[in-house]
């Protein structure tokens, strides 16, 4: 595992695309995927269930929840397809098991230090000083650290897809079948759940409170370095707070 400050050499574009796991991912057209693939593509969590292979992947696993399933997807289902993905994980003793899941075949693994703030505060605000020494985890929301990473890469544009927040569906929800207690299958392969925190599909995502945070982060931090956050679709709580951009017209 290499230190995060060595990762910037992998920057290959002034535009970054972040792919979340919201159901709107299924609305991305074949033509849009071709455009997306031209830029630096980031993803996180369980995007590994998707056929598209990102360039950067922030991994955060829970031993009791999705560790074994994610490990199987990485090492057995995806295999060599993911060997060149640039993995990003938190570098601390309690997170060492993530290295086992990422596997020995991975060529690029970068670790970062994290500082946790506002652990018990429900209202999240980007009112802290960004440090070059660590990522700031605000209210236990890992996406706050991903935003900070994108900021540190100094992309001119960051376009978010699949950050829906308005419901608890994932892009795999519709095609997922429950076959036993806590056992779900997606296209014949096991996944860790069908909806966010096992909520009903129409219930808000657990992190819906991040919507105003994301919008404020854009104004307070991204704009000051000549960058801007956009949303690539309108079916999300971050629109119209974030401006919609049609990637086919860029």
Q: What is the mean pLDDT of residues 132-150?
A: 95
Residues 164, 202: Cα–Cα separation, whole Å? 12
For residue 121, what pLDDT is reported?
Answer: 67
Three-state DSSP class for residue 163: coil
Cis before 240? omega within 30: yes
Does 200 or 118 have the greater pLDDT score?
200
- Which residue shows structure tokens 């919609």? 244
Using 50, 70 and 90 to split pLDDT, how confident is the model at 30? very high
Instruction: Write the pLDDT tens digit of every residue in 80-133.
Output: 999 999 999 999 888 889 999 998 899 999 999 999 998 876 667 888 999 999
For residue 246, what pLDDT is reported?
Answer: 98
Reading phi first (left if > 0) and then psi (alpha if -120 to 50, else beta), residue 212 is in alpha
Taking 80 as the threshold, does the pLDDT of residue 217 lie above it? yes
For residue 76, what pLDDT is reported?
Answer: 96
Instruction: Write the pLDDT tens digit of every residue in 59-88.
Output: 999 998 899 999 999 999 999 999 999 999
Per DSSP, helices labelled H in 136-207 are 142-152
For residue 94, what pLDDT is reported?
Answer: 83
Closest among 146, 109, 153, 111 to 11, alpha carbons compared:
153
Do the beta carbons of residue 81 and residue 106 sit within 8 Å? Answer: no
Three-state DSSP class for residue 244: strand
Q: What is the mean pLDDT of residues 132-161?
A: 96
Mean pLDDT of the chain: 95
Using 50, 70 and 90 to split pLDDT, how confident is the model at 43? very high
Q: What is the mean pLDDT of residues 171-183?
A: 95
Using 50, 70 and 90 to split pLDDT, how confident is the model at 162? very high
For residue 99, what pLDDT is reported?
Answer: 93
Share of the chain above pLDDT 90, in %: 87
For residue 119, what pLDDT is reported?
Answer: 80
CA dihedral 4, 152, 45, 187 (to 10 degrees): -110
For residue 13, what pLDDT is reported?
Answer: 98
Global pTM reads 0.96
Q: 204-243 as b/e, with b when 16 or more CB fall inside 10 Å?
A: bbebbbbbbbbbebbeebbeeeebbbbbbbeebbbbebbe
Reading phi first (left if > 0) and then psi (alpha if -120 to 50, else beta), residue 197 is in left
């Amino acid at each position: 595992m290499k230190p995060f400050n060595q990762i910037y050499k992998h920057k290959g574009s002034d535009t970054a695309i972040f792919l979340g796991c919201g159901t709107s991912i299924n609305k991305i057209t074949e033509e849009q995927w071709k455009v997306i693939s031209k830029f630096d593509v980031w993803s996180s969590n369980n995007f590994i269930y998707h056929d598209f292979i990102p360039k950067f992947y922030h991994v955060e696993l829970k031993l009791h929840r999705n560790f074994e399933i994610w490990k199987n997807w990485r090492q057995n289902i995806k295999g060599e397809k993911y060997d060149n993905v640039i993995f990003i994980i938190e570098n601390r003793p309690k997170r060492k098991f993530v290295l086992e899941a990422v596997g020995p075949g991975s060529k690029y693994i970068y670790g970062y230090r994290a500082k946790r703030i506002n652990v018990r505060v429900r209202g999240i605000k980007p009112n802290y000083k960004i440090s070059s020494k660590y990522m700031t985890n605000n209210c236990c929301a890992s996406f706050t650290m991903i935003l900070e990473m994108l900021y540190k890469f100094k992309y001119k544009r960051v376009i978010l897809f699949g950050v829906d927040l308005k419901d608890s569906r994932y892009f795999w929800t519709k095609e997922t079948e429950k076959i036993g207690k806590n056992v779900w299958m997606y296209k014949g392969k096991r996944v860790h759940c069908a909806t966010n925190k096992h909520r009903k599909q129409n219930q808000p995502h657990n992190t819906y409170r991040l919507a105003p945070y994301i919008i404020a982060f854009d104004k307070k931090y991204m704009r000051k370095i000549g960058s801007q956050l956009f949303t690539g679709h309108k079916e999300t709580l971050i629109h119209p707070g974030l401006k919609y951009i049609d990637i086919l017209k860029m």
